[in-house]
Structure 1
Amino acid sequence: MAEHPIQGLMGVTMQKIKEMVDVNTIVGTPITTPDGTTIIPVSKVTFGFASGGSDLPTKDPKETFGGGSGAGVTLQPLGFLVVKDGDVKLLQLATSSNTADKIVNSVPDIIDKVSDAFSKNKDEKAAKNSKKSAADAGKPSEKAE
């Protein structure tokens, strides 16, 4: 079965979008400063495309197709990932009022706080158990009669 002309339109459209939007468009090429800091640009890419066509009746069957396709791409810089001495920070270009963005941005801090709380709780239990063990060691043992 021969390829329908709409497949060609869609293929070309998708190929052109693929050429425009690659991983280096979203997470840019890292830049290393003389002091060893690495800066990585981060962008948001939104794209869409549409293709359509119609087979129109004509006297010549080779000329029955009419169609078109189009695409749009939006590139919005979000900020920079800054890596220095093992620490990673996101420097945003604009503060977002989007609740989902705020939640995503707060996840690393929440994980650190939860991890610290578990670590602190574990240390407190270990200290309490060692005090209890020391106190139990000083008590005379009770024998069942």
Structure 2
Amino acid sequence: MDGHPIENLMKSTMENIKNMIDVDTVIGNPVSAPDGTTIIPISKVSFGFASGGSEFKDTNLDSSNRHPFAGGSGAGISLKPVGFLVVHKNTIRFLSVTEYNPYDKIIDAMPQAIDMISGLFNKDKANGDNYSEVYNPCDPCD
């Protein structure tokens, strides 16, 4: 016995959406520049779908003894470019295509901040400072 007609509509809609949306839609194919830089486009994809139908009274049975059915389905997809991931030698940067966003600066500054902090720890170890003083607020002051 076949499934309900609405099941077939939903299945067909979902299969078509699945064919349209894949990893290459969100993260595009990398493009290599002659200087060794690789550029990867990044997009934001939103989608939705709806299906619905109606069966009619028993008096309207067709020759297959199935209720007449009317239905439909639809889908909507939004694809918005967000930016580009640029890989060059040992650096990775995200170039946004939207207006200035303060979070972009924070993300761009993270590698330098990590290098600076690790450099401070390595500098202390090189000077023989392998201890740390712990402040205990419960200790009486001298």
Aligned to 1:35: 35
Q: Which has the higher helix share?
A: 1
Q: Is the aligned partner of 1:72 residue 2:37?
A: no
- State TM-score, norm by structure 2: 0.73
Q: Give the RMSD, CA atoms, in angstroms.
A: 2.6
> Which consecutive residues of structure 2, in runs of 5 or more, have no partner in the other structure?
131-142
- Deviation, 1:41, is 0.8
SS for the counterpart of 2:8 is helix
Q: Give the ranges of 4+ consecutive aligned residues of structure 1 lying more than 4 Å apart after TM superposition.
A: 102-105
Q: Say if 1:51 and 1:112 are closer, same or farther in 2 by CA, change over 3 A.
A: farther
What percent identity do the matched residue pairs reach?
A: 42
Q: Which protein is bigger by CA-based radius of gyration?
A: 1
Checking the alignment, whether the CA contact within 8 Å between 2:94 and 2:108 is kept in structure 1 is no
What are the superposed Cα offsets for residues 89-116 of structure 1, whole Å, 9 maximum, x if unpaired? 111111266xxxx547734634752564
Aligned to 1:24: 24
> Which consecutive residues of structure 1, in runs of 5 or more, have no partner in the other structure?
131-145
Instruction: Measure, in 2, the Cα distance between the counterparts of 1:27 and 1:116.
Output: 31
Instruction: Measure, in 2, the Cα distance between the counterparts of 1:43 and 1:35.
Output: 25
Letter aligned with residue 68 of structure 1: G
Aligned to 1:94: 98
SS for the counterpart of 2:129 is helix
Aligned to 2:61: 59
Give the paired residue count.
126
Instruction: Measure, in 1, the Cα distance between the counterparts of 2:44 and 2:30.
Output: 16
- Deviation, 1:2, is 3.2
Letter aligned with residue 42 of structure 1: I
Q: Say if 1:35 and 1:68 are closer, same or farther in 2 by CA, change over 3 A.
A: same
- Deviation, 1:56, is 1.6
